Amino acid sequence: MRKLFLFLTLLSLPFSLLQAKTLDTRAAYLWSSSKNQATASLLVAPTYNTQTGLVFRYVKDMQDYSFGRLKDPIFSVYLPMLFQFELMDFEFTPFYYFKHNSQNPAYQDAYAYGATAALTVLMENDQVNDIYTRARLGASYARQQGTLFTKNAAPENTDYDQVAYFLQLSHSMFQAYRLEATGAAFQYPDGITDVTAWRGVLNQQDLVALQTLDITRDLRKYALGGRFVRMWAESGSSLYVGYSFTENYTADPDHSFIIGNSFPLVRNVFLDIAYNHIETTSHKNKRDIFYVGLGAAL
């Protein structure tokens, strides 16, 4: 099943490249004391109202964990697709995590696959005053192979399903300001009672992206986030600040603060830099994350 999923994910890209009218490439690097991540993406627009591409991601853990370090790099691939209609946009992104071999014979190898789908609707369209409001509603599904830890029970090598639902509201004014608010809830069809930890490779950001750069594999309960963006349309630059709060089943709650700046280097080439500070409500776990991304549109 998972091999068929990966095959279908990769099959359609070569046909899109042959007919592409525009091309968008990006490369990004994220680093912190606990994890490093590199991302490369290629997006194409086969027609005026469609976009598809391929994204590769590499993650390297830098620290040990109570159940053993994920020593080998973690590789994943994504196939984002966007379909634009007159009144709405539809996004669909399947993803696949390649098998990560366990160094500890007590735990099985880990992999994951799933998809995210979202519908964006234009709720307010005031072209005279340049005021727009959009709502983005979506759901995600992931299935992981890994090891589940519960209270008063031995670790269990198992497959584990996860579902997430999210709603994002975006309000832009005068081509200069944008306000965003996001809420998400997480569901576990296989049960979450007494679960204390999960040994797997899936980054929860793949299910719902909030105002954080954190790479987390802890199982989430719900999350809330917001962002303020100041834009300069004449130069294509923007400055943004964001905050998110996440309640977890397998970790303390997180507060995330992010600030970033996106601006053009030369024509059609953009640089995005950001800093993200994260700490738990108990202040016992603090993380500082740095990000730099480079993109070019052809």
Q: Among positive and negative, which fits the CA dihedral 77, 82, 83, 89?
A: positive
What per-residue confidence (pLDDT) applies to 106?
A: 83
Q: Among positive and negative, which fits the CA dihedral 44, 45, 46, 51?
A: positive
Do residues 274 and 294 touch, judged by C-beta distance below 8 A? no
* pLDDT tens by residue, 12-32: 444 444 444 578 899 999 999
What per-residue confidence (pLDDT) applies to 18?
A: 43
Mean pLDDT value across the chain: 88
- Portion of the chain with pLDDT greater than 90, in percent: 63
What per-residue confidence (pLDDT) applies to 114?
A: 96
What per-residue confidence (pLDDT) applies to 135?
A: 95
* pLDDT tens by residue, 55-87: 999 999 887 665 656 778 999 999 999 999 888
Average pLDDT on 167-182 reads 93
pLDDT over 70 (residue 199): yes
Looking at domain 2-297, its CATH superfamily turns out to be monomeric porin ompg (2.40.160.40)
Among candidates 90, 89, 92, 59, which has minimal Cα distance to 76? 59
What per-residue confidence (pLDDT) applies to 127?
A: 77
Bridge partners of residue 155, in order along the sequence: none
Helix/strand/coil for 206: helix
What per-residue confidence (pLDDT) applies to 230?
A: 95
What per-residue confidence (pLDDT) applies to 66?
A: 59
Give the phi and the psi of residue 28 in degrees, each rounded to 5.
-145, 150
Average pLDDT on 91-99 reads 95
What per-residue confidence (pLDDT) applies to 254?
A: 93
pLDDT over 90 (residue 273): yes
Tokens of 134: 């959009």
Residues 6+ apart with CB under 8 A from 243: 211, 225, 226, 227, 255, 256, 257, 258
Residue spans of beta strands (DSSP E) within the chain: 23-31, 35-47, 50-61, 74-78, 81-84, 88-100, 110-126, 131-150, 156-173, 177-187, 195-199, 220-232, 237-248, 254-266, 269-280, 286-297
What per-residue confidence (pLDDT) applies to 22?
A: 73
Residue 14's H or E segment, with its range, is helix 13-18
Average pLDDT on 270-289 reads 90
pLDDT over 50 (residue 39): yes
Q: How far is CA 183 from CA 138, 164, 186, 192, 215, in A?
A: 11, 11, 11, 20, 18
281 vs 52, more confident: 52
pLDDT over 60 (residue 146): yes
Query: Cβ of 86: how many Cβ atoms within 10 Å?
Result: 6
Reported pTM: 0.88
